[in-house]
C-alpha cells in the first residue's frame, strides 16, 4: 500500500525559531549602565561633600582664635548683663538666682579660686625691692632642675678621695653610732672650707648659667622699655594720642609702604 501523500507546503506559514540572545545582552548592558550612573552620582556627592568639608576646614583655620575667644567673651558678658537686667526688672535677687545653678562644692571652689587670683594679683604688684627679689628667687628656684645623679657621683668621688688621703675621721656619737667626719671640708663645706675653689663646673652648667643671665637681662630691658617707651624707634609723634594713631596706621599700612620708606631713606626715590 503506498504511503499517504504529504500535505503541500504553505509559503505563508513561518516556522518557530528560538529567541536570539540580543535581549539578554541589552538587559545586561542596561544594568551595567544603571550601576555606572549610580557610581557617578555617588562620586559626585562624595566630591561635593569633600569640597564642603575642605571649605569649612579652611575657614576654621583662617579664623583668628583670639577673635573667636573675644567674641565668645563678649557674648558671655552680654548674656550676663541681659540676665541681670531682666532679673532686676522682675524685682528678684540676681546673685541668689544665679546661685541656683551652683552646688556648694562648686561655690567653695570658685571662692578659693578668686582668693588665689587676688593673692597672686597682690603679689605681682611692686611692694619693695626685698619682695621683688623674693619673687625672682622663687621663680628661679621653680625653674631650677638639679642634676641629682651628677651630685651623687661627685659626692662619692669626693668621699673616696678624702678616704684615700686620710681626711676622713671616724667619730662615735653618744648613742654609739659611727659617722665619718670631713676634717678639711673637701665636700661638706664649712665657713673655714676653701675646697670649693678647686671645683670646675661642666660645660652644660656654664651654658645654663649664661642662659639664665641673658634671660634676666632681657626681662630687665623689656620692663625698662615698658616704663619709658620704645626709645630705639624714630619719634614720629607729638603726643600720646598722635603716637597711638601712628601705631594704628603702621599696623595696617606698613606692609605696603615699607619699600617706599626704605627708598626715601636710601635717597633713591624720585
Stretch 10-25: mean pLDDT: 59
Inside any domain, residue 120 = no
Inside any domain, residue 258 = yes
- Model confidence, pTM: 0.36
Distance CA 204, CA 144 (A): 14
Inside any domain, residue 111 = no
Stretch 16-22: mean pLDDT: 58
Inside any domain, residue 13 = no
Inside any domain, residue 72 = no
Distance CA 85, CA 92 (A): 10
Specify the range with the lowest mean pLDDT, choosing from 64-73, 129-138, 192-201: 192-201
Sign of CA dihedral 61, 65, 71, 76: positive
Decide if 193 contacts 185 (C-beta within 8 A).
yes
Inside any domain, residue 98 = no
Inside any domain, residue 48 = no
pLDDT, one tens digit per residue, over 27-65 is: 888 888 899 999 899 988 888 888 888 888 777 767 667
Distance CA 94, CA 92 (A): 6
User: Residue 8 half-sphere exposure, CB side, CA atoms within 13 Å?
Assistant: 3
Closest CA to 208 of 155, 132, 147: 147
pLDDT, one tens digit per residue, over 183-213 is: 665 555 566 666 666 778 888 888 988 988 8
Q: What is the DSSP letter of 102?
A: S
Specify the range with the lowest mean pLDDT, choosing from 7-11, 100-104, 179-183, 252-256: 7-11
What is the total count of domains within the chain? 1
Inside any domain, residue 243 = yes
Closest CA to 187 of 151, 145, 216, 212: 151
More confident residue, 173 or 205: 205
Place of cell 571652689: 109
Distance CA 165, CA 195 (A): 14
Which residues contact residue 121 at a Cβ distance below 8 angstroms, ignoring those fewer than 6 apart?
A: none
User: Residue 111 half-sphere exposure, CB side, CA atoms within 13 Å?
Assistant: 8
Decide if 181 contacts 169 (C-beta within 8 A).
yes
Q: Which domain holds residue 265?
A: 234-270
pLDDT above 90: percentage of residues in the chain: 3
Amino acid at each position: 500500500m503506498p504511503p499517504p501523500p504529504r500535505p503541500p507546503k504553505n509559503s505563508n506559514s513561518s516556522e518557530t525559531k528560538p529567541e536570539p540572545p540580543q535581549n539578554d545582552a541589552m538587559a545586561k548592558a542596561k544594568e551595567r549602565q544603571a550601576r555606572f550612573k549610580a557610581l557617578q552620582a555617588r562620586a559626585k556627592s562624595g566630591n561635593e561633600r569633600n569640597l564642603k568639608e575642605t571649605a569649612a576646614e579652611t575657614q576654621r583655620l583662617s579664623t583668628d582664635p583670639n577673635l573667636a575667644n573675644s567674641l565668645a567673651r563678649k557674648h558671655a558678658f552680654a548674656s550676663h548683663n541681659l540676665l541681670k537686667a531682666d532679673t532686676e526688672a522682675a524685682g528678684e535677687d540676681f546673685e541668689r538666682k544665679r546661685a541656683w545653678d551652683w552646688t556648694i562644692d562648686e561655690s567653695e571652689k570658685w571662692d578659693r579660686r578668686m582668693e588665689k587670683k587676688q593673692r597672686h594679683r597682690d603679689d605681682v604688684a611692686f611692694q619693695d625691692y626685698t619682695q621683688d627679689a623674693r619673687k625672682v628667687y622663687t621663680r628661679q628656684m621653680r625653674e631650677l632642675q638639679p642634676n641629682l645623679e651628677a651630685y651623687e657621683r661627685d659626692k662619692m668621688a669626693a668621699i673616696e678621695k678624702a678616704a684615700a688621703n686620710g681626711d676622713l675621721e671616724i667619730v662615735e656619737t653618744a648613742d654609739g653610732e659611727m659617722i665619718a667626719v670631713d676634717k678639711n671640708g673637701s665636700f661638706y663645706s664649712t665657713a673655714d672650707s676653701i675646697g670649693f675653689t678647686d671645683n670646675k663646673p661642666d660645660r652644660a652648667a656654664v651654658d645654663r648659667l649664661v642662659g639664665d643671665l641673658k634671660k634676666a637681662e632681657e626681662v630687665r630691658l623689656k620692663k625698662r622699655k615698658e616704663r619709658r617707651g620704645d626709645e630705639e624707634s624714630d619719634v614720629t609723634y607729638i603726643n600720646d594720642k598722635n603716637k597711638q594713631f601712628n601705631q594704628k596706621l603702621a599696623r595696617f599700612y606698613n606692609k605696603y609702604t615699607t619699600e617706599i620708606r626704605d627708598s626715601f631713606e636710601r635717597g633713591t626715590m624720585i
